[in-house]
Amino acid sequence: MDGIKALTFDTGGTILDWHGGISRKLAEVAGRRGLKADWAAATNEYRRRSLGAIVNQLGPRFNFDDVHRDQLDRVVADFGLGALTKEDRDEIWRAWFALDAWPDFVPGLDRLRVKYPCVSFTLLTPRLVIDVSRRNGITWDCIISCEMLGVYKVRPEAYQGTAKLLQLKPAEILMVACHNFDLDAARKEGFKTCFVKRPLEWGPAGPPDPMPNPACDLVVDGFEELAARMSC
């Protein structure tokens, strides 16, 4: 793609299998207490509420790690899992820092980085991105967390601030994500956009927005395809 000088990546569902990691840990810890529930549904509700509590925040006194811990207590209560102790809940919460990357990501990223700076641009905290990156062998050129910016996607200032930090025009940046809400907001600020299909992001239920906005500049099935499309 002509004119692109850097790639920025959503990091939650686009790169990390949060549903698999959290649902397994939830089932494991609750199972030790003899508890049963629809773990896939509980995990998706947990994710839905967590996103709702962090998206569009401006200068909050909390970060996404705080939100994940707070919303876990709420989901535990609503799904009848009150027998889980504080230690149990802390163990589930810590699973966020040990998520697996989707298997196509690292090979694709390594190819892309030969030609382009690749940046994690994320709602997640820097600490979480550092931990999961080290766990999965992910090498970034830079991590830009909305916590560092003091403003969270999908506010325009988050995208504007990222372009400013990279010293690039928005049109010189390709925003890569599996979520239309992120890509739509980036596009409004002048970014080029790439939709990566992640049909398993939300587990068996499937993602809430599986079809890319036709306005996307690229649509790919995975990161090795993206690398090929970017001539890497």
Domains of the chain: 6-17+99-229 (3.40.50.1000), 18-98 (1.10.150)
pLDDT value of residue 1: 81
pLDDT value of residue 124: 98
> CA nearest 22: which of 143, 175, 132?
132
**Per-residue pLDDT tens over the stretch 150-208:** 999 999 999 999 999 999 999 999 999 999 999 999 999 999 999 999 999 999 999 99
> CA nearest 27: which of 100, 94, 81?
81
Residues 6 or more apart from 189 whose CB is under 8 A from it? 156, 159, 160, 163, 170
- Whether the model clears a pTM of 0.85, i.e. scores above it, the answer is yes
Supply 35's token pair. 């508890």
pLDDT value of residue 4: 98
**Per-residue pLDDT tens over the stretch 111-158:** 999 999 999 999 999 999 999 999 999 999 999 999 999 999 999 999
Mean pLDDT of the chain: 97
